[in-house]
Structure formats: structure tokens, C-alpha cells
Structure 1
Amino acid sequence: MSAFAALQGRWGGQELALLGKVCMAHFVSHFHIMTLPALIPLLPAHFGVGFVEIGLALTVFNLVTLLAQTPVGFLTDRFGPRRLLIGGLLLGGVSFIGLAATQTYPLLLVGMAFAGLANCVYHPADYAWLSHGIDGGRMGKAFSLHTFAGYFGGAIAPAVLLGIAAFGGVALAFAVAGGIGCVAAILIARTPEDLARQPRRAQATQTPGAVEARDGISALLSPAVLVLIVLFMLLNLSTGGLQNFSVSALTMGYGVDLVMANTALSGFLFASAFGVLAGGILADRTSRHGYVAAAAFGVTAVLVAIITVTRLPAPTLVVMLTFAGFLSGVIAPSRDMLVRAAAPRGAEGRVFGIVTTGFNIANFSGPLFFALLLDRGRPSLVFAATAGFMVLTVALTLWQEAAATHARRSTPE
């Protein structure tokens, strides 16, 4: 009890309540993202189609998210993140509950389209709400807890959903996934609206080329925002290559058995989640977030490069990928702080909505690129390409940080 009271004293009860609601929503968002992938082994028989058709449903989900996320970012700034978040949770919940009531493939595509529309809400609404309601000195920790909640939701989804499907069938698994979203929406809706904090001092935190809160489509052309879109795309290409294709690459080209390869991937994923928490502490102790991200990702690139050119024992690979996962998690809060610095008060939703489309762009291009490398029998290039994307990320981050430093020194007191 005393520990909670101390935490409440440092954060404030309203901040803790807001953080809890946003973390709950992000947990649900990643749980929903993993719902279809987790159930893929069971879905062809359930819907009477092949794996290609199930893959098309995932493509529909990602495409709708990509197209709708930026407009929803503008809506978030206009109507408020709380309303958009409640709507997204309800829409996602109803989408999966609807899938529980049908075994018709065309309705699967419709359901995943609506689920993708719901998914586009979370990034702009979550980050905007945190930026409005959390003190700047604790923002790094808030971002890290938010990211950790999402990682945790995605990590437990396969075990939970496959366990439910084993006992009650695919329909029950869809219903539970949808029910979680509806319950979260109701819980947030029944809480009082949070009072907004005083506007933060934009001049001290904005990066060169940051958009103005009043801007519309011109925000898309802001140099800072365009750089961050590329940064997010490179980050997702780097981590996505390891998450989705490292197991196949290790078994095909490195003589690692499937059990050890999956162990290495699990180490990477779980260490990433805890690295996020450590990164939140670092992000609150420095204003040079670009240097923190560059240092962590630079070491990660070195580790992946070593894996590329050597044939290490399987236990050593597990250790190295686990450490790489931790470092890749460390950068996440600093990454989010860079975006916040580019978004003055009132523009957080649109800026996060625009920038995080980099993730969705990578979700389309990355799998095709890495799958082509494997199809051509070049598994080592999966790690080489990942290391290359990491090096590009480091270079871009250092360039952006240097530009921001120059701008701060050039600004009159």
C-alpha cells in the first residue's frame, strides 16, 4: 500500500488513471493484431479456403490501417483521443464478434477490413492522449509502459487464443478476442474525462521543420515528419526481419534446429519488452533521444552483423539475439519522444498518425523482400539486410539529432 501511495505521489492519481486506460487499449490493439495470425493453422478448415486466402485477409487488414491512419490522426486532434479510442475498441470488438458468427470467407474479408479500420485509431489516439495528460518529465516512462503493454498483449495472444480454440473452437476464440475490446471500451467510457494539462512549451521541444498545430495537409510535407516516417519504416524493416524470418533463416542456413531457433526468437521478443521499460527510464533522463536510439541500435547492428558472417553455436545465438532484442526495445521510448518533439500541442494525433504509417509501409514491403531472399536460398542475407537497415536507421537518427542540436544553438535566447 505504501509503495502504491509513493507511486501515486510521484505521478498523480489522474496521470496513473490515464496511463492505465491507454495501456489497456494498447494491450487490446496488439491482441487483436495477433488474433488472425495466431489462429492461422485452424482457419483454412474453418472457412473452407487455403492459406493464400487467409493471407489476403491479413493484407486487407494492413491496407485499411495504412490508408486510414493519417485521416484518423486528424480526427483525433479534432474530436479528442478518448472518443476515438472508445470507438476503435468497440469497432474492433464488434468486428471479431461478427467473425465468431460466420464461417463465410467474404465476411472474413469484411470483418478484417473493419478490424483494420479500428486498428488505425490506436497509435494517434494513444500517443495524443499521453501527450495531453502526462507531465513531460515522465513522458519517457509513460511511452515505455504503453509500448510494453502492447508487446505483452501480442505475446500472450497465441497461447490464449489457441487454448480457447482447442476447447471451444475457432468461433469462441474470435468471440473472446472481440469481447476483450468491448469490455475495454466500456471501462474507458465509464470513467470521467481527464482534464488536459497546460500546453507544453513547444519552442523548447520541437525539432526543425516541426508542424504547426493549425496545419492540415501541409503537415505531410514537413521535413521532420517525412524523416520520421522513413525512420519508422527502417525500424520496422529491421525488427520485422528478425521477428518474422530469423527462425527460417537459422534453420535453413545456420544448422540450428527448430527448437533452438524458436528459443532464440522468444528470447528476442521477451527481451524487447523489458528493454522498452529500461528505455523509458533513459528517455526521461536525457533530451538527446536521438543519441540514445542510435547507440542502442548501433550495438544491435553489430550483433546482427556478427551473426551474419559467423557460424556460432546455437546457445550463443540465443544469447546474442536476446541481447539484441533488449537493445531494440530500449530505443522505443526515445523513438516516441522524437515524434513528440515534432508535434506541438494540439497536433499530436495527426503527427503520430502520419509518422506511424512508416510501420504499415514496412509491413507490406518487408515480408516480400525477406521471403524473396529465402526463396532464392540466401538465408544469411536476411541477417545482412537487417543489419544494413539498422545502420541506415542509426545514420538517419544521428543526422536528425545533429540538425536538432544545430537548430537549438542557432535559436536566439
Structure 2
Amino acid sequence: MTISTSTLGRDVKVMGLVGAAHWASHFFQLVLPALFLFVRDEFQVSFAALGLLTTLLYGSSGFAQTAAGFLVDRFGARRILLSGLTVASLATLGFGLVQSYWMLLPLSVLAGLGNSVFHPADLAILTSKVSSHRLGRGYATHALCGNLGWAAAPVLMIGLAQIWDWRVAIITAGFIGLAIVAAFLIWGGDLEDQNAGHAAMGADEKIPMGRLMDNVRLLLSTTIISCFLYFAFLAAALIGIQNFGIPAMVDLFSLSLVEAGRGVTGFLLGTASGIFIGGIVADRTDRHDRVAMAGMTTAALFMFYIASSDLSGTSVLILLIIAGAASGITTPSRDMLVRAATPKGASGRVFGFVYSGLDLGSSLIPLALGWALDQGRPEAVFYSATGFLAVTVLTVIQVRRQVVAA
């Protein structure tokens, strides 16, 4: 076996295992929202109350994610990743066993704490273990698997709920997560990132773990804050489609539950296909800012058209697929922009902090969109996506300026 073949095999293994973990994390995020209509009927609650569950999940995840990044740099990504995946799986199992709405609240917080580890741990492993000339495709595989997890949730959850009931669907999801934990324990022993333990405190580290002010200056630098805001606005744009796209399309376009579920799945599969293309693009260009700006602008225009038009189910599906593909193409390039802004030895901290922007954006919007649906304004889901996608373009411009200046 040549060195090149050996390296390829190692890279594929790393991408596959990390991708499976990321698939699970995104799958868990939409397990409950995919069944909101069932849960609302079961517990007789409003959409705003259901939005609170999403706010708690992403709020606790965002609160803990920066700390998770520090833990990754201190103790190693693999063990932190396994801990989070186990917690998220058990919390999901709990969703299927509750007897009242109020029991869902602490479980949402617990699920968020489990979710907090994935981005800092996943990306630290990829950055450390995948060959540099394949790193764009590594980031693309990571993002692709996450979006496939999102896409799988509505189809699988609604399908199982219609065959059995919503509780069986959610419990099944929890066991899927535990199966991935088992796969990591069996095949993932060599996935420890190089930042773990003493390696993280080596002499060549530019941002030492123990210096508080160095870490504060790093995370509050203009470049890193711009990356953080990019993720916050992006998440605010997408969370409405992911969590309330189904009831919004049922009300706005008079679609059936299955048709609306296909619309959300189509958007997420479109995103996944865009990520695949974007990974190839990211490895062939150094103007990742242009890729990100073009994709976000295109996605915003299509979202605006959906919000402002009277469309058939087929038209909505096609437009959502295109919008998803446009936003997906930007994903590997955004990760390359963050990598370019990250000092050596600080990947866990930076990725943890920056990606907590996703959770911040995801936690702030669901309550407002749930209220809008309760008021009979389903178009708000798509108009909000339009606005936030447009704002992300401004943050990309700022990140590019800072990276070039550095």
C-alpha cells in the first residue's frame, strides 16, 4: 500500500465517522419539530409554546458551546464528542417517554447541552486528521452529513408516527444515536485530535490555554466576531424553515402534511447537494467570500419569491430545492473562511465560539415565528429567512476584509 493510498483511507474513515456524528446531531435537532403538529394535539399547546422548546435547546447549546471548545482543546475531541452524543441520544429517548408538555422543557435543555459539543469536536478532528489538500471536501462531507440528518428527520419521523405513533418515532431516533456511539467506540479509537492534552500546551501554540486575556482577545477580535455574526444570522434565516416550515406551508399554500414535509426535506436535500458541489469549489478557489455572498444572495431572492407568491405544492418544492442548493454551496467556503481566521492550536476554542452563533440565531427566532403562526401569519417564516440571508452577505464582506488585512 502506498503512502497516498494509506492517507486516503485514513481521511475517508475520519470523514465517515465524524460525518455520522454530525448526521446524528442535526437529526436530533429536527426530531421534535418534525412532529410539532402531533405534539400540539397531544398536549394542547400553542406554536409559541413549541417554539420555546427550540429556544431552550439552542439556547443551552449556544451557552455551552464555547466551553465545549475549551474542553476539546484541553481533553481531546473524541471523548468530548462521545459524551455529547450520548447525552443527546438519551435526551431524545426521554422526549418519547414524557407525559406532559412541561417535562419536555428540561429535556430540551439537556439535548442542547449534548448538541453543544459537535461543532468544536467534529471540526477539531477534521482539521487535525484530514490531509490539507482534502480539507475542503472534509468540511463539505461534514456539512453534507449534517444536512442529510436534517433531511432524514421529517421523512422518518412523520412516517413512523403515521405507522405507529409519535412516541415510537422519537424513541427510535434515540436508539439510532446510541448505535452511532457504539460505532465510535468500536472503530474510532484513533480519532483523537492533536490538540488534546499536552499537545495543546506545546511550545508552538500561539494562543495558550491558560492565558485568560489572550483567549478573550482572540474570541472578541473583529474577525472572529464577524464569523460569529455570520453564523447567527444564517441560523436565524434557516431555523424557521426547519422548525416551522411544515405548518407554515400547510397554512400558506393549503398543502397536506406529507406535501409540506416533502417541501422541508426538499430544501434540506437541496442544501446537501449544494454542499457537495461547494466542497469541490472550495478546494479550487481561494475567494471563498465570493462563493458565500453569491449563494446567500440567490437563496434570499428565492425565499422572497416563495413568501410573496401564490404557489402550487410542486412549485414550492422546486423553489425550496433551488434555495437550499444555493445556500448549501456556501457551506464549505464559510468553514474555510473560519479556518483562515483561526490561529494555530486554537481550533476548538474558535470553532466552539463561532459555531455558538448558530445556536444563538436558532434560539432567538422560534418564539417570534411561533407567535406569528398563532396569529395566522405563516408567510413570516419565509420573509424572516429572506431578511436574515441578506444580512449574512454583509458579515462575509467584513470577514474577508479582516482575513486579507491579517
The code of the aligned residue for 1:97 comes to L
Q: Secondary structure of the equivalent of 1:77?
A: helix
Tell me the distance in 1 between the aligned counterparts of 2:271 and 2:90: 31
**Is 1:274 aligned to 2:270, yes or no?**
no
The code of the aligned residue for 1:89 comes to L
Write out aligned runs for 1:33-72 (5 A): 33-43=29-39, 50-51=45-46, 54-72=50-68
Tell me how far 1:334 sits from its aligned partner.
0.8
CA deviation map 1:201-225 (0-9, x unaligned): xxxxxxxxxx835443333312111
CA deviation map 1:155-192 (0-9, x unaligned): 22233334444555454434322222222122212332
Tell me the distance in 1 between the aligned counterparts of 2:251 and 2:317: 16
Tell me how far 1:53 sits from its aligned partner.
5.3
- 2:12 is aligned to 16
Tell me the distance in 1 between the aligned counterparts of 2:49 and 2:280: 44
The code of the aligned residue for 2:226 comes to V
- 2:26 is aligned to 30
Q: Is the 8 A contact 2:227 2:395 kept in 1?
A: no
- 1:326 is aligned to 325
Tell me how far 1:305 sits from its aligned partner.
4.5
Q: Is the 8 A contact 2:155 2:265 kept in 1?
A: no
Tell me how far 1:242 sits from its aligned partner.
4.4
Taking structure 1 as reference, are residues 54 and 247 closer, same or farther at Cα in structure 2, changes over 3 Å only?
closer
Q: Percent identity?
A: 34
The code of the aligned residue for 2:255 comes to L
Deviates more, 1:379-388 or 1:236-245: 379-388
The code of the aligned residue for 1:349 comes to G
Give the one of 185, 188, 191 matched to 1:194.
191
Tell me how far 1:313 sits from its aligned partner.
7.1
The code of the aligned residue for 1:152 comes to L
Write out aligned runs for 1:107-256 (5 A): 107-166=103-162, 169-191=165-187, 192-194=189-191, 212=207, 214=209, 215-244=214-243, 256=253
Q: Is the 8 A contact 1:213 1:345 kept in 2?
A: no
Q: Is the 8 A contact 2:52 2:367 kept in 1?
A: no
CA deviation map 1:320-342 (0-9, x unaligned): 33222111110011111112222
Q: Secondary structure of the equivalent of 2:155?
A: helix
Q: Is the 8 A contact 1:291 1:401 kept in 2?
A: no
Taking structure 1 as reference, are residues 327 and 222 closer, same or farther at Cα in structure 2, changes over 3 Å only?
same
Deviates more, 1:53-62 or 1:368-377: 368-377
Tell me the distance in 1 between the aligned counterparts of 2:261 and 2:114: 31
Taking structure 1 as reference, are residues 183 and 278 closer, same or farther at Cα in structure 2, changes over 3 Å only?
same
Taking structure 1 as reference, are residues 193 and 406 closer, same or farther at Cα in structure 2, changes over 3 Å only?
same
Tell me how far 1:74 sits from its aligned partner.
0.7
Q: Is the 8 A contact 1:14 1:194 kept in 2?
A: no
The code of the aligned residue for 2:63 comes to L
The code of the aligned residue for 2:388 comes to F
Query: How many positions carry a matched residue from both structures?
Result: 388
- 2:200 is aligned to none
Taking structure 1 as reference, are residues 113 and 54 closer, same or farther at Cα in structure 2, changes over 3 Å only?
same
- 2:350 is aligned to 351
Taking structure 1 as reference, are residues 375 and 276 closer, same or farther at Cα in structure 2, changes over 3 Å only?
same
Tell me the distance in 2 between the aligned counterparts of 1:68 and 1:344: 22
Please provide the CA RMSD for this pair: 3.4
Tell me the distance in 1 between the aligned counterparts of 2:245 and 2:40: 25
Q: TM-score, normalised by structure 1?
A: 0.81
Taking structure 1 as reference, are residues 311 and 327 closer, same or farther at Cα in structure 2, changes over 3 Å only?
same
Tell me how far 1:368 sits from its aligned partner.
4.1
Tell me how far 1:49 sits from its aligned partner.
5.8
- 2:199 is aligned to none
CA deviation map 1:331-377 (0-9, x unaligned): 01111111222223321111111111211221233234445666777
The code of the aligned residue for 2:324 comes to G
Tell me the distance in 2 between the aligned counterparts of 1:293 and 1:69: 24
User: Mind listing any 5+ residue stretches in structure 1 that lack a counterpart?
Assistant: 200-210, 408-413
User: Mind listing any 5+ residue stretches in structure 2 that lack a counterpart?
Assistant: 197-205
Q: TM-score, normalised by structure 2?
A: 0.82
**Is 1:258 aligned to 2:255, yes or no?**
yes
Taking structure 1 as reference, are residues 91 and 371 closer, same or farther at Cα in structure 2, changes over 3 Å only?
closer
Q: Secondary structure of the equivalent of 2:269?
A: helix
Tell me the distance in 1 between the aligned counterparts of 2:223 and 2:371: 32
- 1:360 is aligned to 359
Q: Is the 8 A contact 2:56 2:363 kept in 1?
A: no
- 1:91 is aligned to 87
Tell me how far 1:39 sits from its aligned partner.
3.3
Deviates more, 1:322-331 or 1:380-389: 380-389
Taking structure 1 as reference, are residues 122 and 197 closer, same or farther at Cα in structure 2, changes over 3 Å only?
closer
Structure of greater relative contact order (alpha carbons < 8 Å, 6+ residues apart):
2
Tell me how far 1:133 sits from its aligned partner.
0.6
Taking structure 1 as reference, are residues 239 and 213 closer, same or farther at Cα in structure 2, changes over 3 Å only?
farther
